[in-house]
Structure 1
């Protein structure tokens, strides 16, 4: 009995467009982000989807609500699916963090599982809460198809755990806004990655 988990990164926000770390900051979708979500909703509209889950942050929440609308589905919000809490780094760009935090910034890119972000989280804390959330979803929806709208860091972690990767390198997995990633679980501890970071539903803006 297979359980399909359709992982969707939220649509674009103004901070995405500006290259800023968002974390727990509750930044809403841009109109472009909403349109991105609508294109994926159209792609998924003909599928039988049994449940919709989302992080409780507005950018993921609204993405999930747009995806659920064609199915008249209810979205369940889980704080455990929030992005990493980047603490004092939220609102800053990669360059600004590197300049202001130097060695600590370097540690984050090499050993994020054990690096404590100022006023934020270690990656291991996010791993623990994401694992609880996905395990609960799998237990509730065995044999069903579930859409989970979340964040880049969260989806990288879920995929990394499923594939047995060293999560100190989770950031090497690219996740675009409103990309679709599909994991098929056999029970709660065996998963096959069927699709990753797919954006064929989005217009080519190159």
Structure 2
């Protein structure tokens, strides 16, 4: 049996545009973000989705609802484990403040490896990776075949892709589309970060030179971009 997971990052928000951290916090979509989501929604209009999930964050729900305008028979299921990494005291603060304390290129590998203790009042790497892996395992178990839409966040979605194909973290621009094929329980990254809306580097970081290696060997080694996504 084969399941296709269509992963969509939410549209550009006001915090994205201003380089402000938003993990557990939320910010509404910009005009550019709404236009980008509509473009992605049209791109996915012909998809034969059998289920749809989203993070509870307003930016993710807004994005999912726009996509589901083309799929009116589907009911959106909200799962709290699809939420973004909680940046603790750095939430709603300029990215440069976190960068000055802990560079993104050092933070992300530690989070992915599950070693990061968490920023002050934030979420640990182990807790984050456990829930990200767990939610996709649950979705795959509930839908062994078909095509499932999942709308989430830059780091959370990229972390899931990384668990399948360890290495440099995929760039996921706002409103981008990634595809994972799960055949008899074995996931494979088919495409990562298709920039349907054309946001490109405006919506994704480009400063992650390396990422930790998982102790197990992946079953597939698909090509993936070589940078990290902008958080949330």
TM-score tier after normalising by the smaller chain length: 0.7 to 0.9
Give the equivalent residue in structure 1 for 2:191. 195
**Distance in 2 (alpha carbons) for counterparts of 1:27 and 1:109:** 22
Distance 1:83 1:205 in 2: 20
Q: Does the CA-based 8 Å contact 2:173-2:199 persist in structure 1?
A: no
Of 121, 126, 129, the match for 2:128: 126
Query: Could you say if the C-alpha distance between residues 201 and 14 of structure 1 is closer, same or farther in structure 2, counting changes exceeding 3 Å?
Result: closer
Q: 1:28-75 CA deviation, whole Å, 9 max, x = no partner?
A: 212221211111111111121111100000000110111111110211
Give the Å deviation of 1:111: 2.1
Q: CA deviation at 1:92?
A: 2.2
Per the alignment, residue 56 of structure 1 pairs with: 56
**TM-score, normalised with respect to structure 2:** 0.78
Change (3 A) 1:203 1:28: closer
Q: CA RMSD in A?
A: 2.2
Partner secondary structure for residue 150 of structure 2:
strand
Gaps of 5+ in 2: 203-232
1:71 is paired with a residue whose SS is coil
More helix by share: 1
Shift of 1:200: 3.5
| Counterpart in the other structure of 2:19 | 19
Partner of 1:43: 43
Gaps of 5+ in 1: none
* Aligned equivalents of 2:110, 2:60: Cα separation in 1: 27
Cα distance in 2, alignment partners of residues 60 and 84 from structure 1: 14
Q: Judge which range, 17-26 or 105-114, deviates more.
A: 105-114
Paired residues, number: 198
CA distance in 2, matches of 1:8, 1:204: 14
CA contact (8 A) 1:81 1:150 kept: yes
> Larger relative CO (CA 8 A, sep 6+): 1 or 2?
1
Give distance in 1, aligned partners of 2:160 and 2:104.
Answer: 23
Kept in 1, the 8 Å contact 2:6–2:179? The answer is: yes
Most deviating of 121-130 and 145-154? 121-130
How far the C-alpha of 1:110 sits from its partner, in A, is: 4.8
Corresponding residue number in structure 1 for 2:139? 137
On the 8 A contact 1:56/1:81 being kept in 2, the answer is: yes
